[in-house]
Amino acid sequence: MAVPSYRLLTAAEFRQRVDELYAVLRDCTICPRQCHVDRTAGETGYCRTGSEPFVASWGPHFGEERPLVGNGGSGTIFFGNCNLGCIFCQNYTISHGGEGREITCADLAEVMLSLERAGCHNINLVTPTHQVPGIVHAGMIAAGRGLSVPLVYNCGGYESTETLRLLDGIIDIFMPDLKYADEDAARRYSDAADYPAVAQEAVREMHRQVGDLVMDDGGIALRGLLIRHLVLPEDISGTERVVKFIAEEISRDTYLNIMDQYHPSYRAGDYPEINRRITSLEYEHAVTCARRAGIKRIDGVTI
């Protein structure tokens, strides 16, 4: 089995990353919101989160992409709160509703180890963006106790490249969303007008670190980039522009999941244009756009 990247770091190197990340929290610019609050002193910004891990739930998950799930499942840890304001979030009780509790980094490390003991193929960090320092600290503790499965950074795509650089050599699999190609849509539905440019720059950095997705002989992901793109009604997600960016500026060998599971949640009912499921034609159009762009690896789709 391939050795996860973080196993190659010395204890001193790991500790240095932890210290650098917690230093950022003292004038928080962990994410693109750049709230400049001191989270180590109990102040909170857009994400409403302090300096300790805030976790909603964890366990083996079998509903993720096939390269993550295998036979043992993906070891998902759902972190509470979020740095995005998506009005259609399907996990809104966690991202917006405050579901979860604060735990120590030592406790989070034990969660990671318990998921590995349960047979999970990876540790899947869901909505980690605003909680990176605690996650890396927990990862350092868990690695010292023998953790040896890949770490998956499963995020909304609204990332600081400076923070991502501090994850180089720690994260094995990056799994960002690419939600929008249009600034107006990003502003209206996620309260982040700069999302398209920020997410694209983040994906460039992720790909620089880990490259295209690599799997073992059993089809289990070991390392690389996996992108998710949720198809929204009325092509609000701008699929053609998103896949063009992936194909031309990242790689045509990018592993892409074009997701068809959108349904109105949270406050989507207040926005008539997205207050419905997508049609089969809308999904087929999204897949066709990806194929035309030359993307060769689409989850669940035979090219």
The predicted pLDDT at position 301 comes to: 76
The predicted pLDDT at position 303 comes to: 57
SS3 for 226? strand
Nearest residue to 226 (alpha-carbon basis) of 189, 197, 253, 196: 253
Q: Exposure string (b/e) for 168-193, b if CB count within 10 Å is 16 or more? A: ebbbbbbbbbbbbbbeebbebbbbbb
SS3 for 255? strand
| Tokens encoding 27 | 């004038």
The tens-digit pLDDT sequence of the chain (303 residues) is 689 999 999 999 999 999 999 999 999 999 999 999 999 999 999 999 999 999 999 999 999 999 999 999 999 999 999 999 999 999 999 999 999 999 999 999 999 999 999 999 999 999 999 999 999 999 999 999 999 999 999 999 999 999 999 999 999 999 999 999 999 999 999 999 999 999 999 999 999 999 999 999 999 999 999 999 999 999 999 999 999 999 999 999 999 999 999 999 999 999 999 999 999 999 999 999 999 999 999 998 765
At which residue do the structure tokens 């699929």 appear? 239
The predicted pLDDT at position 220 comes to: 97
The predicted pLDDT at position 72 comes to: 96
In order of start, what are the domains of the chain with their CATH numbers? Answer: 5-298 (3.20.20.70)
Q: Which value, in Å, is the radius of gyration of the alpha carbons in the chain?
A: 18
Q: What is the pTM of this model?
A: 0.97
Q: How far is CA 252 from CA 119, 156, 202, 291, 296, in A?
A: 32, 21, 17, 10, 6
The predicted pLDDT at position 300 comes to: 80
Is the Cβ–Cβ distance between 134 and 51 less than 8 Å?
yes
